[in-house]
């Protein structure tokens, strides 16, 4: 964080400043090997983005604690410790109840047990990953106007574009700026 001290008054930090600082402090390392398009950092960034897209847990940054998604407002630097402690305090009664009810025993791996719970986002959530192949979900992620003015136009559209057309013309669903769909009744 010492590198940021001289830039704290600026609204944005220029990438060339980071490159200059990196090369002056880590002369033995190649900048492209660390930050380039084929670097471990870039690969991790891409994998993280794909996970966010696949899991549909929202926009970055996200923090998961044992599979539980932490509150977005609490992951800032000044509230992070408090958020982690609150989440630990929220999870602890569930663990205690599982021990009392005999679901969690001495020989059970606690980490694996947590990942099997319904309210946890596992590392590889089969319900989410398999749902695309089973066609159990309708993707409302694309926000565009319906391009299918006739049946023949509609048939030639891709799946996400068809979904947009259906959503635009359905009477019992409504689209809002919020990331939710509410049922309408008459």
Is 129 inside any structural domain? no
Is 122 inside any structural domain? no
For the cut 50, the answer to whether the pLDDT of residue 186 exceeds it is no
Is 46 inside any structural domain? yes
Is 157 inside any structural domain? yes
Considering the domain architecture, whether residues 21 and 109 belong to the same structural domain is answered as yes
Residue ending a domain, choose from 82, 115, 148: 115
Give the rounded distance of the alpha carbon of 27 from its chain centre: 35
Number of domains in the chain: 2
Alpha-carbon span 133 to 172, nearest angstrom: 26
Considering the domain architecture, whether residues 159 and 97 belong to the same structural domain is answered as no
Mean pLDDT of 119-141: 59
Is 52 inside any structural domain? yes
How far apart, in Å, are the Cα atoms of 114 and each of 67, 94, 118, 157? 8, 10, 9, 41
Considering the domain architecture, whether residues 106 and 156 belong to the same structural domain is answered as no
Alpha-carbon span 61 to 130, nearest angstrom: 25
Considering the domain architecture, whether residues 82 and 153 belong to the same structural domain is answered as no
Is 72 inside any structural domain? yes
Instruction: Residue 186: name the closest of 174, 170, 171 by CA.
Output: 171
Six-digit token pair at 42? 């870039």
Considering the domain architecture, whether residues 41 and 78 belong to the same structural domain is answered as yes
Give residue for tokens 């002369």: 27
Alpha-carbon span 149 to 95, nearest angstrom: 55
Mean pLDDT of 117-123: 71
- The residue segments making up the domain with residue 88 are 14-115
Q: Residue 1's CB: how many other CB atoms inside 10 A?
A: 5
Phi, psi dihedral angles at 74 (to 5 degrees): -95, 0
Considering the domain architecture, whether residues 95 and 142 belong to the same structural domain is answered as no
Residue ending a domain, choose from 115, 146, 171: 115
Sign (positive/negative) of CA torsion 64, 22, 42, 60?
A: positive
Q: How many helices (H) and strands (E) does the chain have?
A: 8, 2
Q: Is the pTM of this model over 0.75?
A: no
Give residue-wise pLDDT tens across range 51-110. 888 877 777 777 877 667 777 877 777 788 888 888 888 888 988 999 999 988 888 888
């Amino acid at each position: 964080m010492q590198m940021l001290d001289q830039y704290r008054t600026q609204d944005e930090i220029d990438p060339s400043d980071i490159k200059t600082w990196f090369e002056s402090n880590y002369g033995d390392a190649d900048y492209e090997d660390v930050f380039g398009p084929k670097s471990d950092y870039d690969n991790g960034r891409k994998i993280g983005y794909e996970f966010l897209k696949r899991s549909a847990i929202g926009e970055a940054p996200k923090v998961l604690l044992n599979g539980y998604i932490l509150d977005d407002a609490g992951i800032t630097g000044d509230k992070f410790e408090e958020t982690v402690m609150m989440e630990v305090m929220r999870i602890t009664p569930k663990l205690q109840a599982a021990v009392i009810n005999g679901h969690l025993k001495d020989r059970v791996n606690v980490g694996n047990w947590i990942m099997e719970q319904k309210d946890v986002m596992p590392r590889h959530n089969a319900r989410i990953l398999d749902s695309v192949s089973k066609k159990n979900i309708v993707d409302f992620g694309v926000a565009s106007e319906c391009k299918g003015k006739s049946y023949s136009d509609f048939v030639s559209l891709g799946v996400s574009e068809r979904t947009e057309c259906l959503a635009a013309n359905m009477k019992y669903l409504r689209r809002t700026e919020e990331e939710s769909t509410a049922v309408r009744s008459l």
